[in-house]
Amino acid sequence: MTAGRRLKVYFDGGCRPNPGPIEVCAVVRGVARFRTDLGCGTNGDAEWLALIHALECAQESTAQPFDLIGDSRSIIAQATGNAKPRTAVDRAHLARFKRLAERQPPARIRWIRRAQNLAGIALNARHAR
C-alpha cells in the first residue's frame, strides 16, 4: 500500500425482521465478506457485530493503518468514546470491540451516508425488493 494511504474497511449490519436473524458485511479492497451465523438480535446488535467483523477483517489483512467506515452514527459515537453505551448489551459489545482493537487498533472510525456505504450496498443486493 502506498505510504500515507490507509486501508478503508466498510461495515454494515442488519436483521430482518427487527429483532431477527443478524447479517453483517465488511468490504475490504472491493471484496464483500458476509456473516450470517451470528444468531438473532436487534439492528443495534447487528451494527456492533458488523463493526467487530470489519475490525477482524482489517486485522487479518495485515494492512496498517486502516479506517473502519460505517453509517451507524450511534455505534460509531460509542466506539470512539463520543457517546456512552445505552444498554448493558451495548457495553458488552463495546468491551469486546476494545479488547480486539488492543492488538491492532483502527486509525480512525468514521461515519458516511448510507448511499456511500459499500457494505450496506452489498447487504441490500442480497435481498430482492
- Measured distance CA(95)–CA(51) in Å, rounded: 13
Q: What CATH number belongs to 7-124?
A: 3.30.420.10
Look at the chain and count its residues.
Answer: 129
Q: Where are the domains of the chain?
A: 7-124
Tens of pLDDT, residues 62-117: 778 999 999 999 999 999 999 999 999 999 999 999 999 999 999 999 999 999 99
Is residue 32 within a helix (H) or strand (E), and if so which, with residue range?
A: strand 31-35
What's the pLDDT score for residue 68?
98
Task: State whether the Cα torsion 73-21-119-59 is positive or negative.
Answer: positive
Output the furthest CA–CA distance in the chain (Å, rounded). 43
50 within 8 A of 25, measured Cβ to Cβ: yes
In this prediction the pTM is 0.94
> Residue with C-alpha cell 456511500?
116
Tens of pLDDT, residues 12-70: 999 989 999 999 999 999 999 999 999 999 999 999 999 999 999 999 997 789 999 99
